[in-house]
Every structure is written in C-alpha cells, then in structure tokens.
Structure 1
Amino acid sequence: MGQTKGQTKDLPYEVKSSEELGRYLVASRDLAPGEIILTEPPIVFGPKAMPDPEAKMPCVGCYKPIFTDVGERCSSCGWPVCSGNCPGLTDPRHHGLECQVLRARPECVLDNMADYYRHDALLPLRCVLLQKTDPERWRLVLDQQSHMESRLPGSEAYEEANEFIVEYLINNFIDKLDSGVKAKYLPEISKELLHRMCGIIDTNALEIRLPEGSELNGLYAQTSIMEHSCIPNTKHTFTVDTKDKNNLYNISVKVVIPILKGEHIATMYSHALWGTQARRQHLRDTKYFSCKCPRCSDPTELGTYLSAMKCMGDGKEVCDGIHLPEDPLDDETEWACSKCKVKLGNSQINGLIAQMGEDVDNVLMIGGSVPMLENILCRLSTFLHPNHYHMYSIKHSLVQLYGRQSSYMTEDILDKKIKMCKDLIFITKTLDPGNARLSLYSAVLHHELHSALVLKSKKVKSDGTKITVDEIKQLLAEANNSINIALDALKDDIEEASGKKLIDVIAKSKSDFERFCKEKNIDLL
C-alpha cells in the first residue's frame, strides 16, 4: 500500500487481509481517543443530486446550490453554474476535464432539468477521465472493490445504474464525441467500464456534506480499506472550508474509543439508530455483505433493546415478556418471549415493524404536535419495548417540544422530559460511545436535558413549597454538566452546516445560563 501523504513511516495502523474481509486495518500500537489514524486527499470527487433538483442544483464548478431555472450556464457545455467566472469551471479536479465531454451536447433546456442534467453521473465520468490525465489516481480507483459479481444484468443495482448513468453518459455525450477527443480523454470506454465505476462508487464512496447544503461523493484510497462495525471506534471528518485547495475535501480519521494493538479499526456504513434487521438488510443491499459484529450478534443490541417487541400473550393470558430474535444473524429466525412459550415468525415481526415505521414517518414528516406524538407513542407502546427505535424517534421529537410552550412546562411535564432525555442518552451512549455517528443526537438530548433542569430550578413545586437552595444548586450543577457534554459532542462537527448551527444554539444557551447563575449569585464550582 502507498503511504498516506503527510504521515511518517511509523503508521498507527497495519493493512491486513483475509478471505472473509478482504483488506482491513488493525492498530499497530495502542491508540487513544483523539489520535488521528490517517489523513488523505480524495482520489476523485463529484456532486450528488440535490433533494429537489427541479428547484436547486449544485454548480458543477464549486457545488454551491443554485436556483435551477434562473442560474447561469457553462458557456462550453451548458450545465448550470453559479457564475461564468466560477474558478472550478476550468479546474481539472472539478469541471475542467468533464466539460470536454459534456460539451458534446451543448443544448440548454429549462424543462425536465433533473433528467437533463444528472449530477450523479458526473463522478463515474470523472473516474474514467483519470485513465489518461492521472494514471496513478486511475490505478487507485481500479484498486477499489466493485462487487460486480453482485451487480449482474437483471439486478436492481445494475438496471438502475444502466438507466440513470451508463446509458445517459453514452447516449448523450460519449457516442457524440469526435474520435480525437475520445482518444485524448477516454482511450478505453465501454458500458462495462462505466458499470464498474458505478459499483466502485456505490461500494466505497463517502458522503461529504458542504456548508451551503449540497453534498459530494468522494473516493479515498486508504480510508476505503476500513471495515464496517455497528460499534465504530473511529470518526471521519472532511476539510470543506479551506483556502488551500490542495487540502480541499481531505479526510481525517480519528480514534473515538480506545483501540488496543492488533484490534480492528472500524467505521460504520449504516444508521446507528436502525434496528439490527434494518441495518443488516441495508448493508447487504448496498455493500454486499452480512454484518456479524457484536451488536448484530446480540439479540438485545448491547442491552438497549432497540429492536425488542412486547409479548401479546397467547390469546388466553396476558404476558408482560419481551420478544427478541433467537438468532439475530438468521433472516428466518423466530422471535421468542422472555417469559412465556409464544413465538412469532420473522415475517410477522417485519410486517408489524414496517407498518409502524410508516405511521411514525408520516407523523414526523408533517412536524407532529405534542398531542399527535403522544398519541402515536401511546399506541406503539402496546407493541414495542420502550427503547425500540421507532419509540426513540418519537421521543427524540417530543423532548424538543416539552418545555417550549406554557401548557407543557408543568413540573410533571419537566420530570417526564428529564426522564425521557436520560433514557435516550443511555441508548445513544451505549450504541455510540465515541460520538462517531450520533453526535448531533447526543448534543440535542443533552441540550434539552439542560433546559429542562434549568426550568425546573426556577419553578415552585407542585405542592406549593419553594425549591430549596441546595436543590437549585444540584439541578443547575447537572444542567451545567449537560450543556458542556452537548458542546463537547459537537467538537468534530463544526465544519458541517447542521453541526455549526447547533453549536451556535447551544453556545447561546450556555452563555444565557452563565449569566443567569451570575445574576443569582450561584457558584457551581
């Protein structure tokens, strides 16, 4: 393996390989939280389509979101840009090279923009353009796993890539190139090669979120070797705001929980708050492997019961047991009750969970009110363990509403909010002890716990008695601890738009809190 730029020979990791895992990284010495394992530039990167491409698209030169119908166009190829003077239009790492191909179709349109300008097709094009312009980077692209054996014609992945990327690039651009341009930039080009690029991107690309709201996909040589675990011990961040263009989109991989010498270095490719079956299915569909990590192997998911169901009994007697999968690594496993003999089939469980998931998504999509959220929480609590991931979603929304309106600021409501925050913090911390994937969730929960504790310290008790000075100090000391944990959880998210916005909100709360303590002459030291 090539040495990562900027690193010494004394690398904190070694590259190993096995038949089951392929290449993977292990710690070459004991690694402590905060240590940087590697930093490297992207091999190649490209824009993703925006959520509503008919309204906004990323500029192909700098990726700044632009209004689709009124934006300027590249004078050579006609693709939407922020300005005709955008520096990225001539930069070969951005639009400079691909423009030589895209100009084969110079016509501009204002209708069906999302179909006409498919930004997801640009990264595969940028990959194949490396073969002549940067052979070393091209070798690094080809060195990455494509899983073409799982993307054969007829498969969903193949047909989707074929329609939206391969045929699109060939019919609209590549087949229209004159032989001189094709020989200069694409000496080898075929449907098979483009499909391989799609497989490499789907398997290895990492999402880079930019401050303005657009997103890129990037390929990284060393980082892609890291294996997946549902309990990641690293976190990666990107350099997205820098004046040094050589550092743009560099990735840094940092240790978040202690890694002993010889232990595997792992990242996470799925959502930490999905249940085991959802995570494993996602990984099979997108990364082509079945996860067998300690969390996936544990029916209780590390004691969180994130996928657990309540037992409904046998129809004759009520049971307060919990249904868990007998073998979570078996897709056909039965779910057994912890107290009675009732068992349910996996398909029954999946059907129930899917229906409940639709109900939860519908409520959250419309920005559910407190009564709506409490209603669905009550209904689902009949079937689901209190820690189930659908319950988590609803509670996470509820804690952000309790204490915001006068009708939801009673002592009982604040106590309910405090307990809910602490329950969710336990789940979050257990599943992601190093804030590798759930830093924003953790920060929100600790911030909401802080606000509830501060509000409670200002209220008269429900029995009419005043809260004592010692009780106030205890509440405010806990509130101070919570706000500090919230800010610490976000220390690696400052360059992301959502992280920066949340940091600003929490920092203001901390400032208000310190001013309040000073005014009341309360010393928390």
Structure 2
Amino acid sequence: MFKNNRDLLIENDDEINATGILLALRLLLIKYRNPAVWEKINYMEAHLDKRIGTSIWKDREVNIVDVIRRLRMPAEIEPPSAELMQKLCGILDVNAFQLRSPGALDGLLLRGLYIEATLMAHDCRGNTHLSVDDNFQLTIYASVTIKEDEPILFNYTSSLLGTADRKEHLREGKYFECECSLCRDPYELESHLSSVLCPHCKEGFVGMQDTSSLNPYERGSRWQCQMCKRTFSGRLIRATLNICRTLIDDCDIDIKSIEGLLKRLSRSLHTNHFLMLSLKQKLLMLCRKEIISPNPQKKIIQKMLDTCKEVYNVLDIVEPGISRLKGIMLYEMHLPMIILANRSYSAREISSAQLACRLEEARDLLKKALTMLFLEPVTTPEGKLAKRALEELRTLNQNISDVKSLPSDKPKIHVRKAKVHRKKIK
C-alpha cells in the first residue's frame, strides 16, 4: 500500500508520516484479512463518546484519519469512514501497551495491541509484571501471589507519579477515575508521593482530604496535616509545587547542585515526593558515572547507596513483589556496599569477619535483584544486566570464600591523643 501511494508519502509540502498511521492501518486491514481477530478487536472499548471534540480527537483526525482516507486502497478494501478510523484510534489509545524498541530500532516509541492482555484491569499497585522481547512477544508474570478468583491487575500509568498526576493521566488517556487503595489514601499508603511539609507546624505532612476531587489543586480543595490537623487550600499546594518545579528546571545537572536542591526542597516537600524522586533519579545517573571512575569519592559512593535505598523503599510500597525498577535498584545498591566494605577493611576499620559479613549483605542484594531481572528477555538492557549480575555473583562468592579463609584479625583502633596541659613551675 505504501508503494502504491509513494507520491503521497514523499510530498514535500504535505509529507505523510508513515509510522504515525501504520498501526491504525494494520487494524483496518485485519478487518478484511482476518475476521476472527477483527471480531475481538471490534469488541474493545474505544470511549468514542468521551473523546469526541477533545484535543486527542482533533489530533487523530488530522494526523491519522484524514491521512488514511487519502490513500488509494486495494480493490477489495472499502474506503474507511471517519467514524471507523476514529474508533480504531480510540481502541489503540485506550488498549495498546507502550513497548520498548529492540536494540536495532533504539529510540523509537512503539505501541502494541495484545488482545488477551487488554483484559487486565487497572490498579496503581498492580499484581503483574510484564516483559517484551525483541520479537514483541509479551509475557505476563504474577508479581505477587494471586489467589483463585482474584482480579489480574496491571498499572496503566507510572508508579512514581503523585495521585493527582496518575489520576489525570488515566482520566485523559483511559477515560476512567481510579479508585484504588493508593489513590484513596491521602498519604498514598505512607509512600507520601504527593505529601508537602506542613507550612504551620513544620513537622507533619499535608495530604489531600478529598482524593476523589477532579482537581485537588483548586481553591475549594482542602489538604490536611496529619499532625496538627490544620487544613490548607489546594491552590497553596499548587503554588508550592510550581515554585519547586521552577527551581528544578533552573538547576544545573551536577552532583553538588542536585544535592543542594534536594536539601532545599526538603523544607517544603516530603523526601518521597514525586518531584524529589525525579531529582534523585538524576542524581543516581550522575553517581553511576562517578562510581565507575578509577578513584570515586567516598561521600559519593555513600550518597549513591543511600539514594538507592530511598528510591527502593518507595518502590516497595507502590510496586509490590517483582518489579523491574526494584531489581535495578537492588543491583545498584550492591556495588557501593562492596566498595565501602573493601575500603574500610583496607583502612583496618573493620576485621576480616566483618568484611565477610558486609560482602554477604551485598551478595543477598544481588541475589534478590536476580530474582527480578531473570524474567527479562536476554536482549533487553535488564536482561543484559541480569547476565552481568550473575557473573558478578560468582566473583563475589569467591571473594567471600577467600576473605573467610584469612586469619582472624581485629580492626585498627584509632586513638585520639589527649592534650596535656602542664603548669609552669616558677
């Protein structure tokens, strides 16, 4: 079809983006080529009544519907109506899964429609873990134990967003209001992804009172401190977040600047706030580069370890059980632990027995990381990380064995000499 419409695809003044229409066009062709599959696709929810007239509707009208209707179709295919094409666009927007590009296509944003997988309901703390290989084979694992007759749930949005942002994403892209346990709790099950430090008592954290509000940042919405019980307008919270976002946008991307900004923002936000977490992820990216240098600073090694733990503790709440991000955090925790332990032993601050104990703690983290990363296809970045982690585990086991074979010793005790004040004798 593209070959037969080449003149349209290469028009300089009105060039058609072939990748933008490809998936919708494939669905249209299925209608004529595979009636059994089409019947299942046609049954999927498109939410046309909620999409009509919206910005997404207008975008699809210009960039997909009108483009496909301009194409010359094969003789056996009836020219599609605008209503049919909008329905196909709706089916894709509501039901498709976001896919990571294979290595050869790195950088492309892809979507895939999986008929059985679309049957999973949403929960911001899902009970499934998804992986996709280079052939776009989607595999669904239970991330926690799922009992008989319990629903199979998948998180349609990002787990590290605050409640208001998660709900807005689901409302505008999936057309429903989330009422899961995480969204209903003012403090997000103690993850505090949206919590702001109380402007009054400076001790408690403020959470939204009405979690069902469509706009918790408007004047009429109330937020309450969990300690002093004082309430504040949603507009005040929004103003606080706007100031924080401006500071983040203006921040230099280096370790010292980000550390300083995190300290400054902690006077207004909970350390787990989603804006803080986004900064911490940038900090980790910089620490990774530093830690593989020939002689990384001890404070940066410790900062990486502490930050990984902080992010992991939040993930453990919002992504229970098996989690790709948790696997990565666990892997990234083990290396600074090993470096710090070896340095302490070299400085004779700890004994060989204590060194072995700390190396065993790092090994436990690595093992736990592998239980999550082994589920990833071998060609993905996480799959390659799992292979590297397995090799490092073998080396670490050998190192622990070597350390345990060393003669027992005691850490060097650093004695601080006291100043002696002597009286002069006349």
- Normalised by the length of structure 1, the TM-score is 0.69
Higher strand residue share: 1
Cα 1:408/1:116, change in 2 over 3 Å: same
Q: How does 1:47-446 map to 2 (within 5 A)?
A: 98-99=1-2, 103-106=4-7, 109=10, 115-152=15-52, 154-171=53-70, 173-174=71-72, 177=73, 181-182=74-75, 184-185=76-77, 187=78, 189-212=80-103, 213=106, 214-241=108-135, 249-313=136-200, 319-331=202-214, 332=216, 333-340=221-228, 342-357=230-245, 359-360=247-248, 368-400=253-285, 401=287, 403-404=291-292, 409-410=297-298, 413-435=300-322, 438-439=323-324, 441-446=325-330
Cα 1:111/1:378, change in 2 over 3 Å: farther
Q: What is the deviation of 1:147?
A: 0.2
Q: Structure 1: which amino acid aligns with 2:57?
A: Y
Identical columns (%)? 24
Cα 1:444/1:131, change in 2 over 3 Å: closer
Q: What is the deviation of 1:256?
A: 1.5
Q: What is the deviation of 1:197?
A: 0.6
Q: Structure 2: which amino acid aligns with 1:409?
A: Q
For 1:209 and 1:283, how far apart are their aligned partners in 2? Answer: 20
Deviates more, 1:116-125 or 1:276-285: 116-125
SS state of the match for residue 302, structure 1?
Answer: helix
Cα 1:328/1:406, change in 2 over 3 Å: farther
| CA-to-aligned-CA distance 1:349-406 (integer Å, 9 cap, x gap) | 234335534654665xx8x221121122112111111111222222234345164557
Cα 1:130/1:418, change in 2 over 3 Å: closer
Q: Structure 1: which amino acid aligns with 2:338?
A: V
Q: Structure 2: which amino acid aligns with 1:103?
A: N
Deviates more, 1:397-406 or 1:376-385: 397-406
Cα 1:170/1:420, change in 2 over 3 Å: same
SS state of the match for residue 84, structure 2?
Answer: helix
Q: Structure 2: which amino acid aligns with 1:237?
A: S
Are the aligned partners of 2:352 and 2:403 in contact in 1 as well (CA < 8 Å)? Answer: no
Cα 1:381/1:433, change in 2 over 3 Å: same
For 1:216 and 1:375, how far apart are their aligned partners in 2? Answer: 37
| CA-to-aligned-CA distance 1:84-141 (integer Å, 9 cap, x gap) | xxxxxxxxxxxxxx44xx513446649689x533312111111111222111122111
Q: Structure 2: which amino acid aligns with 1:196?
A: K
Q: Structure 2: which amino acid aligns with 1:271?
A: S
Cα 1:209/1:319, change in 2 over 3 Å: closer
Q: Structure 1: which amino acid aligns with 2:34?
A: D
SS state of the match for residue 502, structure 1?
Answer: helix
Q: Structure 2: which amino acid aligns with 1:156?
A: S
- Normalised by the length of structure 2, the TM-score is 0.83
SS state of the match for residue 270, structure 1?
Answer: coil
SS state of the match for residue 159, structure 2?
Answer: coil
Cα 1:377/1:111, change in 2 over 3 Å: farther
For 1:104 and 1:361, how far apart are their aligned partners in 2? Answer: 44
Q: What is the deviation of 1:338?
A: 2.1
| CA-to-aligned-CA distance 1:478-498 (integer Å, 9 cap, x gap) | 100111122222122225633
SS state of the match for residue 99, structure 2?
Answer: strand
Higher-Rg structure is 2
Q: Structure 2: which amino acid aligns with 1:294?
A: S
Aligned residues: 395
Q: Structure 2: which amino acid aligns with 1:308?
A: S
Are the aligned partners of 1:210 and 1:497 in contact in 2 as well (CA < 8 Å)? Answer: no
> Partner residue of 1:58?
none
Is 1:452 matched with 2:353? no
Please list every run of 5 or more consecutive structure 1 residues that lacks an aligned counterpart in the other structure.
1-97, 242-248
SS state of the match for residue 292, structure 1?
Answer: coil
SS state of the match for residue 224, structure 2?
Answer: strand
SS state of the match for residue 273, structure 1?
Answer: coil
Give RMSD over aligned pairs. Answer: 2.8
